[in-house]
Structure 1
Amino acid sequence: MNILDTGAANLTNADLNEEAANSQALSTRQSLGISALSLTNQAQQSVLQLLR
């Protein structure tokens, strides 16, 4: 391998690592959003039960 091949391989690895981190961040955001919606729904149901 020459220096250009090594540099290209390093850039590819860096891109893959960055994309993996971005994917994990998006997954975490999605999970947090779903949890927030679930908690909101539970709170609304509790208020409705109090009003019955």
Structure 2
Amino acid sequence: MFTTSPDEQQDILVYHARPYDNAHLQGGFLGNPDRHAYTQSFIWNSDGFPVFGTPGDN
């Protein structure tokens, strides 16, 4: 999901992820509900595409 900060000065991505490598899970990771919500602010490049950077950078 995308949103903006309350002052509308930053664009923000809201996403769900697991804070660990899920390759060890038997039966695949899609059945595991252990996800956390995260937010990541991002900027736009000169071509109008989002630049997300590395998750957790900000």
Larger radius of gyration: 1
Q: Which gives a bigger RCO, structure 1 or 2 (Cα 8 Å, sep 6+)?
A: 2
Question: Is TM-score (shorter-chain normalized) higher than 0.5?
Answer: no
Q: TM-score, normalised by structure 2?
A: 0.18
Structure (1/2) with the larger helix percentage: 1
Q: Give the structure-1-normalised TM-score.
A: 0.19
More strand by share: 2
